[in-house]
Amino acid sequence: METTVLRRRAFATGAAAVAVGALALAGLTGVASADPAQGATPTADRLSPGLLDALRRDLGLDATQAKARIADEHRAATVAAALERSLGADFAGARLSGGTAVLTVSTTDRSDVGRITAAGARAEVVAHSLGRLEAAQAALDAVARAKAPKDVPSWYVDISGNRLVVNVAVPRAADRLLAAAGVPRGLVRIERSDERPRALADLRGGDAYYMNGSGRCSIGFPVKRGTQNGFVTAGHCGTAGVTTSGVNQQAQGTFQGSTFPGRDYAWVATNGNWTPRPLVNGYGNGDVTVTGSTQAVAGSSVCRSGSTTGWHCGTIQQHNSSVTYPEGTITGVTRTSVCAEPGDSGGSFISGSQAQGVTSGGSGNCSQGGTTYYQPVNPALSAYGLTLVTSGAPTDPPTNPPTEPGGTWAAGTSYAAGATVTYGGVTYRCLQGHTAQAGWQPPNVPALWQRI
């Protein structure tokens, strides 16, 4: 099975597991400063019929189950982020499992178990911290950036197994890579794989666009940079200077920046005829509104929109994976069970109403199933100084943010609707889930924060 970029042309062995407090997230307690009166994620009752239909088809969930799961997954992301900060170097990852979306948080220190269960999650004690495994992965990445390894299609940190998994076509290929990177064999699980990843290539997320009048890819998410409108997409779809036309074959824009291989993101600046909307194409089943970009926990449901195969859903398998395409190695992508085909590249990955990333590459197809990787959207936004276009959120942070007056609010933190923070001696309640950015201090963004 060949795994490539698709561009259409015209948590452990030996670890002691402690399963304590196996609670579904519907019963979470002691979660940061969440407001219990808020209940389920506010957006759950307003989810796209198309997204719900795709979750029914691909995950076997009816509408009620899908809404409950998305609400649970949203809360899990908030709990996991808070525990990661609290546990520090002991943190060994978080994942969801089961139909009721049980959150498991791993740690290397048994004394952390009480703290984890008090937050409503299941605790697991393992041998290796996430930081140690990610450092080993980074060592492999460094070797691969110099020269893409032959017969090693992908590698990633498996949180449930508490190992760095290296997928290989030829077993000795893993030995060569590990030796070159200086990674201890005890941190690694080698698995045989026939994958041959490839990039998926052929202003609303999931819509088609065309590069220089030839190849076709899909829009990831509409963005803004200052007053300039545009969208993020996959880097392998085009290099800086490549022009694009839209789904209507009319002149659309130009690639301003592109990174591939290494990472797989790009952004296109569009002309005045294109207005960015906080939407993802539902392909006849209703568009999905984007309200933020909070990263979902591994095990969460995720859906993809692309111009070849429309809507398909699955689950997040591993974050921060590395994958080798014929063009080179890509790092920092997320591995999923969602299918995709040529032309879907660059298209939107979304969990509930939270933007997750843009389609990069994978293997298989939507007839027989496959594995697809997406480039997380937040690193792309950061790399190019872009702001995601969302419903009710500010289009851009202020150009001259004020001096921080102190408080619990912090840029880079993921906040769920109902969470409370202090800033400048005043308390604010979060109105919609988002990841805070510099300049989005609560007094500046009334669409996100309400003074209480």
Residues with catalytic function? 236, 264, 345
SS3 227: coil
255-264 core/surface letters (b: 16 or more CB in 10 A; e: else): bbbbbbbebb
CA dihedral 27, 30, 34, 40 (to 10 degrees): 0
Give CA–CA dist 408/443, Å, rounded.
14
Residue 304 burial (10 A CB sphere; 0-12, 13-18, 19+): buried
Give CA–CA dist 101/96, Å, rounded.
5
SS3 374: strand
Q: Name the nearest CA neighbour of 243 among 209, 277, 274, 207.
A: 209
Peptide bond into 261 cis (omega under 30): yes
Token pair listed for 159: 């949180």
Give CA–CA dist 372/313, Å, rounded.
11
Q: Name the nearest CA neighbour of 213 among 358, 9, 360.
A: 9
State the Rg of the chain over Cα.
21
Q: Greatest CA span in the chain, whole angstroms?
A: 61
User: 337 Cβ partners below 8 Å, 6+ apart?
Assistant: 314, 315, 317, 369, 371, 372
What strand order describes the sheet that includes 208-211?
A: 215-218, 208-211, 243-245, 251-259, 265-270, 228-233, 221-225, 387-388
SS3 51: helix
